[in-house]
Amino acid sequence: MDKNNYWRTFIGDEEMCRLRKLADFLFSESDKRTAELLEKEKEFDQIEEGGDEWCGMTKKEAFGDYLGYEFHDSEQTDQILFRSLVMSIFAFIERDLKGLCNQLKETLGEKFSVDDMRGGSGLKASLTYLDKVLDGGFVKDDEDLKHCNKLRNALMHGDLKRSISEQKKMVNQFKNTSFTIVFHNDELQIEKETISELLIFADRVYSNISHNWISKDF
């Protein structure tokens, strides 16, 4: 097997498999936590109103406070884990594409490298470089590739809180992409749907690069 096919068959496919397994695990754990909380919510509904108070709260009021905290904690746990997974998706793609760019520079004897591109360490820079080297058209007219860095940068730099006008602007920017952008309490949220969309996006990037690179006659 030549090195071109090796890159796609073993690196791209293997990493997509890992990411999907991790996503399935996180989704499963999230569903378990939610199911447990819904059972506790049924217990809450069965507690009678009134009765003796402790520290100024009835049994139902105290249980309600506790349950509210548990739901909030579960939501925050999901966000930490989901955001980490999204960053892992971007990290895998960025690392492999930059490696591909460096290898193509040597293979084709190009005088310029991906580091010469604007923002030379990121996903967009790598795809721009591949556009120039392979005439692949990876970035042109692809709304996902044009805007995915906005999502990546928001997570990387913790820039998740947005004003109402900024939220509307971001939602509008992603309107023609494959990504679902959701805000809750003025903060960017990563939903299961968003992760599934990003996994499809990652596989498409790997497949497009692989197809255009492997089929290229050097």
Owner of token pair 């692949």 = 136
What count of residues does the chain have? Answer: 218
If you write DSSP's letter for every residue of 107-156 in order, what string do you get? Answer: HHT-SS-GGGSTTTTSHHHHHHHHHHHH---SSTT-HHHHHHHHHHHHHH
Residue-number span of the structural domain to which 140 is assigned: 3-214
Q: Which residues contact 30 (CB under 8 A, 6 or more apart)?
A: 74, 78, 81, 192
Model pTM? 0.81
Interval 146-195: pLDDT, tens: 778 788 888 887 778 889 999 999 999 898 888 988 998 899 999 999 99
The number of domains in the chain is 1
Per-residue pLDDT of the chain (218 residues; tens, 9 = 90+): 444 444 444 456 788 888 999 999 999 999 999 999 999 999 999 888 877 777 778 888 899 999 999 999 999 999 999 999 999 998 888 887 888 888 888 887 888 888 888 765 677 788 788 778 877 666 666 778 777 878 888 888 777 888 999 999 999 989 888 898 899 889 999 999 999 999 998 888 777 766 655 545 44
